[in-house]
Structure 1
Amino acid sequence: MGWGTVDIVLFVISIIISAGIGIYHSVKGIRATPSEYMLGDRGFSPLPLAASLTVGTISALTILGNAGEVYTHGTQIWMMDIGVVAGMVVVAKYFVPIFYPLKMVSLYQYVEKRFKSSVLRQATAILTLIGAYLFLGFLIYPPAIILQASTGLSIHANMFIMGTTCTAYAAFGGVKAVVYADVFQSVVMLVGILTIVIQGTVLVGGLDNVWEIGFQKDRVEFFNLSLDPYERHSLWLVIILGFFFTLNTYGVTQSQMQRAFSTGSIRQSQKVMYYGAVGLVVIRGLTNLSGLVIFANFVDCDPLTSLNLKKPGLVVLSYVLQKLTIIPGLAGLFVAAIYSAVLSSVSTQVNSMTALIWEDFLKGKKCFEGWSPVKIGHLQKCIVAVSGVVGILMGFLAESFSTLMEAVLSILGVFAGPMVGLFLVAVFLPWVNIKGASFGFVSASIFSMWIGVSIMMGTPPKFLPLSVEGCPPPPTTNTTTTTPNITTTTTTLLDDAATTSVLNITDISTTTPPVLPEEEASAGGFNGLYQMSYCLNSMWSTLIFISVAIVVTVIWGGNSPEDLDERLVDAGAWRLFTQTVPRLRKEGFRSLLPQRKPTISKRAPGGGEGTTGGVEEEQLQHLNPNSAQMLNVSVEGTRKDMIDT
């Protein structure tokens, strides 16, 4: 069955509402100042910002990728959310109290304040902008192909509709339009994912049967406690993946920290992070569950095998076309969820990119001196519009040069570790100055690119067993049906644009990070390094950044307390810093070692009674009991020998 009237109506309504939110806030805020346009004049309450924070990183390919991951590799990736929650706590407790009081628009203003380097600030901003523009094409193009199979619209038409809609409401309405549209889209996404879970559960006879089938076919695994770094997933590996993913995405990325800056206090900003963590766990959990539900429905007739689909995420589309179209409206809700995921991610990107372009590169230029706040607000709207157009063009480029796009996005994605390392050093290591930070950033970036490119060239991981025993026999006539069209229209998608896991900037997917086959995992040297789980990539590059920064600081010297503003670092780190540096300057590194108090001898002249023959009582007290006893025995024995003599 194909789309019906109800599906089309629901789909169109979702687009109209998203665009209408932008039009409303455009009219309402036609004379908005830059602060109102970029931050909503810091007047948001935590809940809508938390919803925007959540859906801003749940792209269409996250929905497809996580479901496909559980379908082909099991539920171990679900435990990644433990690391996600831990990372959000770190961001809320340690990063927000430092960043928020600075009243910044661009997160990278902190980099300049902390390291006193506008060059480092602009370098991080440029890197973020390049990745964000490429990411726009990555967000728009692959879902457009998926939606082509569902809606019948051409790829270009889907890209144009998605790009134009989100650019329009982001440009005209500013951050208020983006945030409130995200709230609506979060509801649509939630309903769309629930359609898969509820309908699929009903078709297999209940949720108990879903889990039972998963257990029987080895899809359910949560506590793989293996410490082997060459396994693709274990409990520890996915927790590490989730932790560093969260630090990068929510702690050191402009698009998400801008949400935290839009509240009225530090406490409210922290609530945004905590509420956002809950939203992420819920939506990611339902997405993972949808993968298990889809597997239960296809347990005896796997479409990846029977239709020769090459990427796990495409199993979701096969499920939608085969199962959801049974009930009018369900397919429309799911496609609306895909559109909502794209709109929320793209609008978040173009809004944050505008903030970076204005704050880090244009603000303060002589040509803008004397401009009124309203005039600056109009300029920012133009920047958003231009960014949206560039995003649509990048989608077209992704269609023509998808293999190149995959390589470029893979290389850019590995900068997640260095960015996390930069901010961890800035917050927790006040000793480190611009020299240590620069050397650390360059070293970690080179390492990350090297490992990222090497892993990208590896062999994709093998799927868990899939069955086609229950599939009907192939047709004997040349009949055109809806389902076989999946092969021709969707195999192209992730075959040509398999970029879902290569970006840790604002999204993460779990379907494509490749590792080498198990039979080659015993190779030594650099091959062994390449074959480690992709979950460790960000951690390695972060540790390299920190290590190099510390070594350079020790060799060339670092900051003194008078060189640094106390507000720019963690309070505990500052106390340690102020206590340690003066002692180092006065006494050197020995001052940091534990010192033993000098002892005073109580020996009487000539070694009279009550002495130990020159062995001080205080010294004996510092010895362990056995050593002291042996020494006393030795002294007494010497006395006896002398008396006998």
Structure 2
Amino acid sequence: MNLSAVDITLFSISLITSAAIGIYYGVRGLQSTPLEYLLGGRSMKPFPLAMSMVVGTVSAVTIMGNAGEMYAYGTQLWVMDLGIAVGMLVVAKALIPIMYPLQMVSLYQYIERRFKSKSLRQGTVVLQLFCGYFFIGFLLYPPSIALKYFTGLPIMINIFIMGATCTVYSAFGGVKAVVYADVFQALVMVIGVLAIVIQGSLKMGGLDKIWDIAYHGDRIEFFNFSLSPYQRHSFWLCLTLGLFFALSTYGVNQSQTQRFFSTGSVKQAQWVLYYAAAGMVFLKAIINLAGLVMYAHFKGCDPITHPQNVMKEPSIVVINYVLEVLTKIPGMSGVFVGAIYAAVLSSVSTQLNSMTALLWEDFLKEVRIFSEYSEVKKGLIQKILVLISGVIGLAFGLAVSQMGSFFRTLLAINGALTGPLIGLFLVAVYFPWINAAGAAFGFVISIILNLWIVFGQLFTQLPSKYLVLSREECPSPPSPLNVTTIAHLDLTTTAAELVNITTTTEPALMDDEEHSDGDLYGLSYCLNSVWGTLICMVIAVIVTAVTGTNGLDDIDKKLVDAKSWALFERTTVLQGREPLVKSVLRRSSTSQRSNSCNKGDTENPSALELSSDGVGGQKVKNAEDDD
């Protein structure tokens, strides 16, 4: 174990406080109704909900992954945070005014109301549940590998501690426990990351000195305005990545939309997003700065390129830095480990709360045996659902720990599924003439095609090359991994485990200089959600054109954007058009009948005579009208 008594004390306080918050709200909410348990009675304040939203998104992998990204690849990905802020503002202005007044618990109730299709709604829910449980497993496993270095506890024990802790307080306290525990964990995360930034700044002579070192090491890059879609990162690609990340995470994902559903008005729901955008930009900024601090520290003796190091993964630099630097300051390692645990607990508890909402609202609520229960008894059932979801999440965490490099595939597939979901909601909100068949076909086909693209990328793209990393200033002979404390651990096993830890973005892609223009699989991973969104929308339009558009009476105008509805009302060509096949067959039948009538008139001279004075022509016209 690499933690002192002070470190263990601080770390234990962090865990106990999170559990205590859950127990407190659990005791207060013993008689809570389903609405109070899942949404806090729609009376919660925007600021704590915003903090919960931020830390529910920023996981331990974000702390390690983003810092490693800045260290090895530079700051271009930082632009993603600008895209996230813009995307959150779009959700606040465009989606919340439509979604919140519907008074939903499950976001996907909107899909059923808009398309009048329960099967489409449940299809989206099943997809979210499947991805959510796998995501919980992923949230638990990679940090547990890193924590093995600090605590000395086996990976399985770390998974169990994290999973059991957040399951207990999530089950007992409901959304209030999750939210207020998240507020505490946000403070722990900020303090833990700031420990790296402040200590590094003091040691290196200030942030300006760190920035100068990073600049001369070619780490500072923000304004690569190249329009090529085959680069790993550019200004436009990272901006797009952030925008679609925000739309998928805060616009069409139950785990985060449940936060603004818990407020008392549309205005308050919007303020949740405004506060969260500011909090996200700040938290990600100090995480990114931590990566530059670590680069300044290791600039002359990089641990990644050590000849004996098989862990060619930038995320491990965080572990190296904490073990080499923070362990020398009493309590600092404990604070950082507490931050890692806090990041895991906040993200997992958010998922558990949202999984429960989906299971209850979309499947169990209408079952007769449950519908006859009292409100308090329904609340008890939901607590049981959280416990069950926690057990399932733990099982996935343990299963994922045996899957090795499956992590990268898991993240890539998860990313491929966000685009089609965004496309489905955009079609629902902004294309009122699109029918259920078009939406369903667009959603399913876009998932299939997007998975095809992502699997192609996974199997064909080469890893990106790091920026220049130097070992010129390493002592001779070099100490193993430049971190003496790592020598006390089983390096052979932990190395194989850590190599699979990924960043918060997609896996590293082909180097910009090695890509092949025109190759579908060579496109930047930043655009994967874009393709899924566009494919879903295009297929939905085509299928609707074939199967027939909605009429004004087919949908409730409250379910779509006001400007889109006004356009729909004015554009009669879009309203209630019959299926294309039926239209073609009808016109063909009419044409054949008309030709038959004309042929008969030619063989009958009296018909020609009648036509000359207009009577026969009137008969033909009347016949066409009847048809």
- Correspondence for 2:175: 175
- Whether the 8 Å contact between 1:53 and 1:256 is mirrored in structure 2 is yes
1:158-198 C-alpha deviation (Å, 9 max, x unpaired): 11111111000000000000000000000000000100111
- Whether the 8 Å contact between 1:440 and 1:546 is mirrored in structure 2 is yes
1:521 aligns with 2:524: no
- Whether the 8 Å contact between 2:145 and 2:155 is mirrored in structure 1 is yes
Distance 1:530 1:321 in 2: 39
Describe the shift of the 1:419–1:293 C-alpha distance in structure 2 as closer, same or farther (beyond 3 A): same
- Whether the 8 Å contact between 2:415 and 2:529 is mirrored in structure 1 is no
1:573 maps to which of 549, 564, 578 = 564
- 4-13 vs 487-496, greater mean Cα deviation: 487-496
- Correspondence for 2:338: 336
Distance 1:476 1:145 in 2: 22
1:387-443 C-alpha deviation (Å, 9 max, x unpaired): 111111111111112334543453233110000000011111111111111111122
1:366 aligns with 2:368: yes
- Correspondence for 2:495: 491
- Correspondence for 1:472: 475
Describe the shift of the 1:172–1:394 C-alpha distance in structure 2 as closer, same or farther (beyond 3 A): same
**Matched residue of 1:400: which SS?**
coil
Distance 1:165 1:490 in 2: 24
**1:239, CA displacement in angstroms?**
0.2
**Amino acid corresponding to residue 14 of structure 1 in structure 2:** S
- Correspondence for 1:482: 485
1:322-347 C-alpha deviation (Å, 9 max, x unpaired): 01111111111111000000000000
Distance 1:408 1:200 in 2: 34
1:124 aligns with 2:124: yes
- Correspondence for 2:354: 352
- Correspondence for 1:426: 428
1:224-265 C-alpha deviation (Å, 9 max, x unpaired): 111111111110000000000100000000000000100000
Describe the shift of the 1:209–1:478 C-alpha distance in structure 2 as closer, same or farther (beyond 3 A): closer
**1:523, CA displacement in angstroms?**
5.2
1:165 aligns with 2:168: no
1:280-338 C-alpha deviation (Å, 9 max, x unpaired): 00001111111111100100011111244211111111100001111111111111000
TM-score by length of 2: 0.89
- Correspondence for 2:223: 223
- Whether the 8 Å contact between 1:455 and 1:514 is mirrored in structure 2 is no
- Whether the 8 Å contact between 2:551 and 2:576 is mirrored in structure 1 is no
- 483-492 vs 308-317, greater mean Cα deviation: 483-492
**Amino acid corresponding to residue 205 of structure 2 in structure 1:** G
**1:521, CA displacement in angstroms?**
1.8
**1:385, CA displacement in angstroms?**
0.5
Distance 1:164 1:323 in 2: 31
- Whether the 8 Å contact between 1:112 and 1:118 is mirrored in structure 2 is yes
1:553 maps to which of 533, 544, 565 = 544
- Whether the 8 Å contact between 2:146 and 2:498 is mirrored in structure 1 is no
- 123-132 vs 303-312, greater mean Cα deviation: 303-312
**1:475, CA displacement in angstroms?**
6.1
- Whether the 8 Å contact between 1:248 and 1:420 is mirrored in structure 2 is yes
**Amino acid corresponding to residue 284 of structure 1 in structure 2:** K
Note the 1:196-345 alignment, pairs <5 A.
Answer: 196-306=196-306, 307-345=309-347
Describe the shift of the 1:409–1:71 C-alpha distance in structure 2 as closer, same or farther (beyond 3 A): closer
2:466 maps to which of 456, 463, 467 = 463
- Whether the 8 Å contact between 1:131 and 1:409 is mirrored in structure 2 is no
- Correspondence for 1:71: 71
Describe the shift of the 1:151–1:455 C-alpha distance in structure 2 as closer, same or farther (beyond 3 A): same
1:103-132 C-alpha deviation (Å, 9 max, x unpaired): 110000000000110000000000000001
- Correspondence for 2:617: none
- Whether the 8 Å contact between 1:149 and 1:485 is mirrored in structure 2 is no
- Correspondence for 2:611: none
- Correspondence for 1:446: 448
Percent of paired sites with the same residue: 54
Distance 1:189 1:583 in 2: 52
- Correspondence for 2:596: none
- Whether the 8 Å contact between 1:88 and 1:274 is mirrored in structure 2 is yes
The CA RMSD measured in Å over matched residues stands at 2.2
- Whether the 8 Å contact between 1:134 and 1:409 is mirrored in structure 2 is no
**1:478, CA displacement in angstroms?**
14
1:602-625 C-alpha deviation (Å, 9 max, x unpaired): xxxxxxxxxxxxxxxxxxxxxxxx
Q: Gaps spanning 5+ residues in structure 1: where?
A: 501-508, 590-645
- Correspondence for 1:642: none
**Amino acid corresponding to residue 417 of structure 1 in structure 2:** G
Distance 1:480 1:466 in 2: 17
- Whether the 8 Å contact between 2:549 and 2:576 is mirrored in structure 1 is no
1:543 aligns with 2:539: no
- 448-457 vs 472-481, greater mean Cα deviation: 472-481
- Correspondence for 1:37: 37
- Correspondence for 1:87: 87
TM-score by length of 1: 0.86
- Correspondence for 1:625: none
- Correspondence for 1:643: none
**1:68, CA displacement in angstroms?**
0.5
Describe the shift of the 1:570–1:422 C-alpha distance in structure 2 as closer, same or farther (beyond 3 A): same
**Amino acid corresponding to residue 386 of structure 1 in structure 2:** I
- Correspondence for 1:193: 193
- Whether the 8 Å contact between 2:171 and 2:387 is mirrored in structure 1 is yes
Distance 1:373 1:474 in 2: 70
Describe the shift of the 1:523–1:168 C-alpha distance in structure 2 as closer, same or farther (beyond 3 A): same
Describe the shift of the 1:344–1:198 C-alpha distance in structure 2 as closer, same or farther (beyond 3 A): same
- Whether the 8 Å contact between 1:303 and 1:309 is mirrored in structure 2 is no
Distance 1:415 1:480 in 2: 40
Describe the shift of the 1:280–1:469 C-alpha distance in structure 2 as closer, same or farther (beyond 3 A): same
Describe the shift of the 1:9–1:93 C-alpha distance in structure 2 as closer, same or farther (beyond 3 A): same
Q: Gaps spanning 5+ residues in structure 2: where?
A: 581-627
Describe the shift of the 1:168–1:248 C-alpha distance in structure 2 as closer, same or farther (beyond 3 A): same
**Matched residue of 1:562: which SS?**
coil
- Whether the 8 Å contact between 2:568 and 2:575 is mirrored in structure 1 is no
Distance 1:146 1:290 in 2: 17
Describe the shift of the 1:519–1:275 C-alpha distance in structure 2 as closer, same or farther (beyond 3 A): closer
Describe the shift of the 1:561–1:143 C-alpha distance in structure 2 as closer, same or farther (beyond 3 A): same
Distance 2:211 2:205 in 1: 11
- Whether the 8 Å contact between 1:83 and 1:242 is mirrored in structure 2 is yes
- Whether the 8 Å contact between 1:56 and 1:348 is mirrored in structure 2 is yes
- Correspondence for 2:591: none
- Correspondence for 1:413: 415
The count of corresponding residues between Structure 1 and Structure 2 is 576
Distance 1:283 1:568 in 2: 35
Distance 1:261 1:221 in 2: 38
- Whether the 8 Å contact between 1:241 and 1:535 is mirrored in structure 2 is yes
Distance 1:188 1:400 in 2: 30
- Whether the 8 Å contact between 1:515 and 1:532 is mirrored in structure 2 is no
1:471-492 C-alpha deviation (Å, 9 max, x unpaired): 1123699999413457546423
**1:3, CA displacement in angstroms?**
1.9
- 305-314 vs 203-212, greater mean Cα deviation: 305-314
- Whether the 8 Å contact between 1:87 and 1:247 is mirrored in structure 2 is yes
Distance 2:286 2:479 in 1: 39
**1:151, CA displacement in angstroms?**
1.1
Describe the shift of the 1:35–1:471 C-alpha distance in structure 2 as closer, same or farther (beyond 3 A): same
